[in-house]
Chains A and B, each alone.
Chain A
Amino acid sequence: MPLNIVAMVKQVLDPEVPVSAYRIDRQKKRVEIDPTKKIAPVINGFDETAVEAALRIREAGHDVKITVLSAGASFVTDVMKKALSMGSDEMVLVQDPALEGVSDSTVTARVLAGAIKKLSPFDLIIAGRQASDWDNAQVPLGLAELLGVPCIPVTRKVEIQNGDVVCERVIPNGYEVVSAPLPAVVTVSNELGQPRYPTMRNIMAAARKKPQTWTLADLGITDLATKLTMLDLFIPEKQSKCEIIQGDDNNPVDAARKLALRLRETKLV
């Protein structure tokens, strides 16, 4: 039996998009992008790292099957396929219009837990530490609770040793080595390293794979009740009050000298 790894992947707004391209629907409480800009979504950066972590376990010599799992109202297939073309085996998409605009972690975790139960058996769930849209960092922890398994969040190294998952967990001034029995949930952070680029061979292989699509009804999920109500969503106003200090004749050395004087006058140095 191979080790069944589920890599959790979310399609998000590209975090590199400048805020000036954001269109906020304050009524529906959604962030949309100026459609004239034609900006494609991306796979959440930390989730690419999750796929990378799964692939590294395979490369360490373990017999693994990597299933990519995502939930959302709609997907851009070419974007999601990247998770397959990095080298994963299969993809399951929970796709349902009812998930449009869902940003409540309890709902997402319930949906994903339902999908994982349908996928079972699973040994290891790897997710990104947080999604760069709602920055909630709760779904993987909630999944672990709903599935009743241990969880090791924010790691930079994930290994399988003697049937346990052994991770290096990032802490503010160093790291911890944490070990848990399988099945388990771990989340990964960018310190794990750069996710790989898909190879030509894997891109061709991925092109032939068809993601499996499930609806909420397939999972028997009807209850999407949230625990939090979003009252408002807005772009905070920032008034720039910056005093740009220029040197005579644009001389940077002179500018630095003037900066030192201003810092002294304002008692900052």
Chain B
Amino acid sequence: MADAKGVLVIGEAAGGQLDASAKELLAHGRKLADSLGEPLSIAILGDNLGGAPKEAIAFGADRVYAVSDPVLKEPQPEAYLAALTALAKEQSPKVIVAAKTPLGVNVGPRLAFRLETGLAQDCLEVKIDGNKKLVANRPVFGGNCMVSVACDSLPMMAVIRLKTAEPLPRNDSRSGEIVPVNPRLDPSVVKAKVIKRVEEKQEGKRLEDAEVIVSGGRGLGGPEPFQKELKELADLLGGVVSSSRAAVDIGWVPYSYQVGLTGKSVAPNLYIAVGISGASQHMAGLSGAKNIVAINKDANANIFKESRFGVVGEWQKVVPALIQAIRELK
């Protein structure tokens, strides 16, 4: 692959619209492509891509591989893998990046193994170094440490954590090329079949998009405060309620609430952590949070080291008083 060229983003789309994760990836990809001085491509897969290819150009792509096939109707990882392996072999990109989504973390590493190359997992930052190598910074040991790794084989691959880049401003007058690809997939490539998908209807805003989040941990002592005090505070601020893994493991709230390394990455302007100790694995979901406020009875809790404002005290006293004080200010 001596003539490998360009950066390829694995973009996700649903209902004919580009996913937020793909817009973030295009922002990362644009920087990489510009420092290589080479084009930025995106592969979008599905059975009906609608306006997604055009959107991708508006968000920074130079070329869109619009890969459509009936087998790609559902996001079946093995169908994606078959189509992407063929595309990568044909186009030989220098760099391939995917997002840390359920699909990206499944397809990215497997694609790397199929292409006999390496992949940097769960990266916060990616750049091209002086030797034109992809260099990635990624947290390890639950976020307690960081490593910087260089990719030594082509294509150089990375999975990038969500909320680590702002999408570029949409520019509908950007020009780019849309290349239709018909991989003619054999449906039998899909061995692991999705039989059923059960998604809880979320009321209100998605955690990932929320500007204000009120989050609770083991210190809340039970499920009720999530429905009562935390929800009241969140409603007052136009926000959403989330949790630590401890609260999920005990069964107080469903997994969809979990923020952290193995939960969601969020990027609110205000994150109020109540009864959360601030373990590195929890903080891993908060790299994009702009202002953290901690309410914890233990003055030595790590969460205070990572917060802008803190109140040392029992939430049972602090939170109701905070709700009332904010009401009075409004």
Footprint of B on A, CB under 8 Å?
Answer: 13, 15, 19, 22, 24, 29, 31, 104-106, 109, 129-130, 132-138, 141-142, 144-146, 149-154, 166, 169-181, 184, 189-191, 194, 226-236, 238, 240-247, 252-253, 255-257, 259-264, 266, 268-269
Contacts and interface: CB of A to CB of B under 8 A. Distances in A.
B237 A104 contact: no
Contacts of A238: 305-306
5 contacts: A169-B102, A170-B255, A173-B199, A235-B144, A256-B321
Nearest to A253: B321
A113 to B, nearest CB: 10
Nearest to A234: B146
Given A253-B321, A259-B293, A132 B142 contact: yes
B12 interface: no
Which of the four size classes fits the interface of chain B? 35 or more
Contacts of B307: 242
Contacts of A175: 197-198
Contacts of B294: 242
The 6 residue pairs across chains A and B that have the minimum distance between CB atoms: A227-B118, A256-B321, A260-B325, A252-B313, A145-B113, A150-B191
A146 B311 contact: no
A226 B77 CA distance: 26
A252 B293 contact: no
Contacts of B262: 129-130, 189-190
Contact of B304 (A233, A244, A255): A244
Given A173-B202, A252-B311, A252-B313, A263 B145 contact: no
A252 B321 contact: yes
A194 B152 CA distance: 40
Interface string B106-121: 1001101110011111
Nearest to A175: B198
B192 A171 contact: no
B68 to A, nearest CB: 23
Contact of B106 (A106, A141, A180, A257): A141
Interface in B189-205: 191-200, 202
Interface stretch (B23-31, B32-40, B87-95, B133-141): B133-141
Given A132-B142, A227-B118, A252-B318, 18 more contacts: A13-B141, A135-B140, A141-B106, A151-B192, A174-B199, A174-B200, A178-B194, A184-B191, A228-B118, A230-B148, A235-B146, A236-B146, A252-B311, A253-B317, A255-B313, A259-B311, A263-B270, A269-B270
B110 A151 contact: yes
A176 B196 contact: yes
Nearest to B327: A260
B198 A176 contact: yes
B191 A133 contact: no
B168 interface: no
B9 to A, nearest CB: 20
Contacts of A174: 197-200, 256
Contact of B311 (A15, A132, A152, A244): A244
A151 B105 CA distance: 12
B200 A231 contact: no
Nearest to A232: B148
A231 B150 contact: yes
Contacts of B139: 135
Given A190-B249, A242-B307, A244-B311, A109 B113 contact: yes
B305 A242 contact: yes
A68 to B, nearest CB: 23
Given A141-B106, A173-B202, A232 B147 contact: yes
Contacts of B112: 106, 138, 142, 227
Interface in B28-54: none
Contacts of B113: 106, 109, 141-142, 145-146
A3 B238 CA distance: 53
B106 A252 contact: no
B132 interface: no
B322 interface: yes
